[in-house]
């Protein structure tokens, strides 16, 4: 397993149903055996989900996205209320839709439509939120009432301070280039419980890459810039993981992240070369609310 760097107190990820515990501290003495058992239960559960034949197409990307390790790093529990920010390609939705259970909830968090001038874009965002629950239910076979969604411009009463986790998967570059980062992050911060966490996976630029390449337009951002953006908006870095690192990615493609799989913007031009590189190098970061 690739190296994980914790910047705050080490925390065991205790995941599962029934035996799952909301414990973010260290474990000592006789409790450690129980915690190890819970951790093993999580590993068995996520392994079963990832091996489900219905994930055959999605599973092709697991080697690049490391879902088991990433969810573990984000300290996600199946009985958490999890917000999936800016659902798009649905790979994450399909995984999390299978993952939550019992009292756990999966909620799609869509852009505030007011952040966009184009009426068609605004209506598309609203339509995405309206269909989210049904779309996830089609995959899981569970009732659509097990899931929900709303836009950050129309947060239902009673939703603030109720989320255990919010996951922002490869989306920081877009909210940066669209100049909506501050307002979106502020809204997400209000949704989190005081002990809630935000997990971020983002295409990573080289540390010395120029701003002209890392403003979001190419999909890559510098890790230091993402951390600073989160700090400015009331979050504190908890830890980093290299689980989604890809040293083969030079992160300097003229066509940005879309040069590499799965988009392969150049189509058949040098296709074998880009497929051999794989998906982008990515930072994986965990933040907590600064109280």
* CATH code of residue 128: 3.40.50.150
Residue 33, domain member (yes or no): no
What does the alpha-carbon distance between residue 164 and residue 194 come to, in Å, rounded to a whole number?
Answer: 9
239: closest CA among 261, 255, 219, 223?
223
**If you ran DSSP here, which 8-state letter would residue 221 be given?**
B
Residue 252, domain member (yes or no): yes
171: containing domain: 63-289
- Winning range, highest mean pLDDT, from 18-22, 49-53, 179-183: 179-183
Segment holding 72, helix H or strand E: helix 67-73
- Confidence band of 31 (pLDDT split at 50, 70, 90): low
pLDDT at 114: 97
| Whether this model's pTM surpasses 0.85 | yes
Q: Interhelix angle for 91-99 vs 119-140, to 10°?
A: 40
- Pairing relation of β-strands 192-203 and 282-289? antiparallel
Residue 274, domain member (yes or no): yes
Q: pLDDT tens digits for 77-119?
A: 888 999 999 998 789 999 999 999 889 999 999 999 999 999 9
Structurally, how many domains does the chain consist of? 1
Residue 191, domain member (yes or no): yes
pLDDT at 48: 85
Residue 56, domain member (yes or no): no
pLDDT at 63: 94
Residue 29, domain member (yes or no): no
What does the alpha-carbon distance between residue 42 and residue 68 come to, in Å, rounded to a whole number?
Answer: 9
**Cis omega before residue 218 (within 30°)?**
no
Residue 57, domain member (yes or no): no
């Amino acid at each position: 397993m690739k190296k994980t760097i914790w910047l705050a107190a080490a925390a065991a990820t205790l995941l599962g149903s029934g035996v799952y515990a909301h414990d973010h501290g260290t474990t000592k003495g006789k409790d450690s055996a129980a915690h190890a058992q819970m951790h093993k239960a999580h590993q068995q559960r996520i392994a079963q989900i990832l091996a489900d034949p219905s994930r055959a197409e999605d599973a092709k990307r697991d080697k690049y996205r490391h879902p088991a390790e990433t969810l573990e790093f984000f300290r996600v529990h199946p009985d958490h209320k999890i917000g999936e920010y800016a659902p798009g390609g649905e790979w994450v939705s399909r995984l999390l839709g299978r993952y939550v259970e019992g009292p756990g909830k999966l909620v799609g968090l869509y852009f505030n439509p007011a952040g966009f001038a184009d009426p068609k874009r605004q209506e598309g965002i609203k339509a995405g939120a309206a269909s989210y629950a049904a779309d996830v239910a089609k995959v899981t076979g569970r009732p659509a009432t097990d899931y929900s969604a709303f836009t950050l411009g129309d947060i239902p009463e009673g939703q603030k301070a109720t989320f255990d986790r919010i996951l922002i998967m490869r989306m920081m570059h877009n909210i940066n280039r669209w100049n909506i980062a501050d307002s979106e992050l502020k809204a997400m911060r209000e949704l989190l419980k005081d002990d809630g966490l935000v997990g971020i996976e983002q295409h990573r630029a080289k540390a010395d890459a120029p701003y002209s390449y890392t403003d979001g337009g190419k999909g890559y951002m510098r890790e230091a810039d993402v951390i600073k953006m989160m700090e400015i908006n009331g979050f504190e870095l908890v830890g980093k993981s290299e689980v989604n690192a890809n040293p083969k990615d030079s992160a300097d493609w003229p066509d940005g992240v879309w040069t590499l799989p799965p988009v392969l913007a150049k189509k058949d031009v040098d296709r074998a070369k880009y497929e051999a590189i794989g998906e982008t190098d990515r930072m994986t970061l965990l933040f907590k609310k600064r109280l």
